Amino acid sequence: MKPLRFSAFLATLALVTACSRESCCDTCECTSTDTQTSKSANTPSTSTASPDISSATSDNTKQPSRKFPLKGVVTELLPDQSALMVKHEAIPGVMKAMTMMFTVDPAVITTVKKGDAITALMSRTADGDWHLNDVKVVSPATP
């Protein structure tokens, strides 16, 4: 009897865990509670239940990308890729703290240095890359 109860418990636990987790990006997992809080508190609802395909054109078929505030430190400049390596803080409901590459506007490469503390708005591009907009140096690197 005990093995049957234990098996039922494990099956229920696996089902509950699978239903209560949501993968937010390719590099992490977040709890659905964090994601729901983030979505309801910071962004408007974007329901895609029944899109009106009849009025879609090539200009308006893409959904607007959500933007998330980011705080971090530039660890490397990658000018040949128009990118920065940034060690960033956790972004609640999106990803854990980590060091990763972000694409940026090429002009940003000339305004930041390795070691600069920055803030920015992070968004996902159509091809799945993470991109930084509105990059601001909040504390310059110390020599």
Q: Residue 75 burial by CB count (10 A; 0-12/13-18/19+): exposed, middle or buried?
A: middle
pLDDT at 46: 42
**How far is 31 from 18, CA to CA, in rounded Å?**
11
pLDDT band of residue 7 (cuts 50, 70, 90) is low
Q: Residue 18's pLDDT is what?
A: 42
Tokens read off for 122: 């992070």
Beta carbons within 8 Å of 83's beta carbon, 6+ residues apart: 101, 102, 103, 104
Please give the C-alpha separations between residue 105 and each of 33, 89, 132, in angstroms, as whole numbers.
33, 21, 8
Mean pLDDT score, 21-46: 40
pLDDT at 85 (0 to 100): 98
The predicted pLDDT at position 41 comes to: 41
pLDDT of residue 143: 80
Beta-bridged to residue 87, according to DSSP, are: 73, 99
pTM assigned to the model: 0.57
What architecture does CATH give domain 68-139?
Beta Barrel (2.40)
Domain ranges of the chain: 68-139
The chain-wide mean pLDDT, for the chain, equals 73
The rounded distance, in Å, linking the Cα atoms of 136 and 30 is 27
Q: Do the beta carbons of residue 27 and residue 97 sit within 8 Å?
A: no
